[in-house]
Amino acid sequence: MKTALTIGDITVHRVVEQQAPFTDPLEFLPTLTPELLAENRSWLQPEALDRATGKLVLCFQSYIVRTPHHTVLIDSCVGNDKDRPARPLWHMKTDATYMRALAAAGFSVGDIDFVMCTHLHVDHVGWNTRLDNGRWVPTFPKAKYIMADRELEHWTKREKDNAASVPWITDSVLPIIAAKRARIVKSDFVFNEQVQFIPTPGHTIDHYSVLVGRSGDDALITGDMIHSPLQGKYPDIGMMSDYDSGQAGLTRRQVFDRFCEEPTILCATHFPAPSTARVRRWGDGYKFVAAGG
Ligand SMILES: [Zn+2]
């Protein structure tokens, strides 16, 4: 499986933790109707919609962006040893898949200079920390973790009000703050001339995506501004954990409109392998076409 692409003097690597038929599409995309699903089944199957189970196939992965100056890991997936009883596939898991994938891409935890958190959902912050003698410590020993200010404020308040409702904030975000590893920025932060954030709010309050490269030769690491290619054809279809699905739909339309005539490669976090594509117009919506070649 091809897991790296080259953008000028930057390489982008995929580090996959899981890819599996994950959830019932009608539950995951609450405004999707059985009729609309039936109408689209043929092009979604088998990659994005599993034939046997009827579930949406989702990938859980990090992107590593290697520039001449830095190694940046974007979104840290699910993690190990985390208490997630609501999700059997994630609950207290101890597998070596993620660390093996990191090594296979040519990196060790000590190579990561920055971890960028597009948003602070459970499956994007898990490997921020690892368990060490009963304590949660930063997994990437020298990394700074970059988070958007209003995103962090929102989740910190929720944790304070009801910690049991957001255990991933307690075990995977707050220990980073306590270890003084967080760098808090605006969601339009310019990291350097080849790495900048694009605010993509809606899925969460202050979600960002990461644009890397130079105009004409670039890639957008989406984070969760989209989960399924079906939300390209129908940008207004929201996802069950959205903070504001209306805003998420507007974000998708804006971002896809901006890039649909560009060579920009979208690196979609949850799209099944190969996860990378260009976006093009498709009727009133958008489709994703192979980025190879
Ligand atoms: Zn999310």
Question: What is the Cβ-side half-sphere exposure of residue 105, based on CA atoms within 13 angstroms?
Answer: 29
Give CA–CA dist 103/91, Å, rounded. 23
Contacts of 73 (CB under 8 A, 6+ apart): 15, 62, 63, 64, 65, 112, 114, 115, 116, 140, 143
Say if CB 231 and CB 237 are below 8 A apart: yes
- At 38 the pLDDT is 97
As a whole number, mean pLDDT of residues 169-188 equals 98
In this structure, the number of other CB atoms found within 10 A of the CB of residue 119 comes to: 26
At residue 143, the 3 state secondary structure works out as coil
CA–centroid distance, residue 120 to ligand 1 (Å): 7
What confidence category does residue 1 fall into, taking pLDDT thresholds of 50, 70 and 90? very low
CA distance 226 to 141: 30
This prediction has a pTM of 0.96
Per DSSP, 11 falls in state E
Give residue 24 CA to ligand 1 midpoint distance, Å: 17
* 146 Cα: distance to centroid of ligand 1 (angstroms): 16
293 Cα to the center of ligand 1, angstroms: 30
Measured in angstroms, how far is the CA atom of residue 75 from the centroid of ligand 1? 10
User: Residues 278, 30, 124, 273: is their CA dihedral positive or negative?
Assistant: negative
18-74 residue pLDDT tens: 999 999 999 999 999 999 999 999 999 999 999 999 999 999 999 999 999 999 999
Q: Which of 70, 77, 118, 114 is nearest to 224 (CA)?
A: 118
Find the 111 Cα to ligand 1 centroid distance in Å. Answer: 26
Nearest to 146 by CA among 113, 169, 109: 113
SS (H, E, C) 75-98: CCCCCCCCCCCCCCCCCCCCCCHH
- Distance from the alpha carbon of residue 124 to the mean position of ligand 1, in angstroms: 7
User: Whole-angstrom Cα distance, residue 159 to residue 291?
Assistant: 40
Confidence of residue 2 (pLDDT cuts 50, 70, 90): low
Burial of 266 (0-12, 13-18, 19+ CB in 10 A): buried
Helix (H), strand (E) counts: the chain:
9, 16
What separation in Å is there between the alpha carbon of 183 and the centre of ligand 1?
20
For residue 292, the model assigns a pLDDT of: 65
Q: What percent of the chain has pLDDT over 70?
A: 98
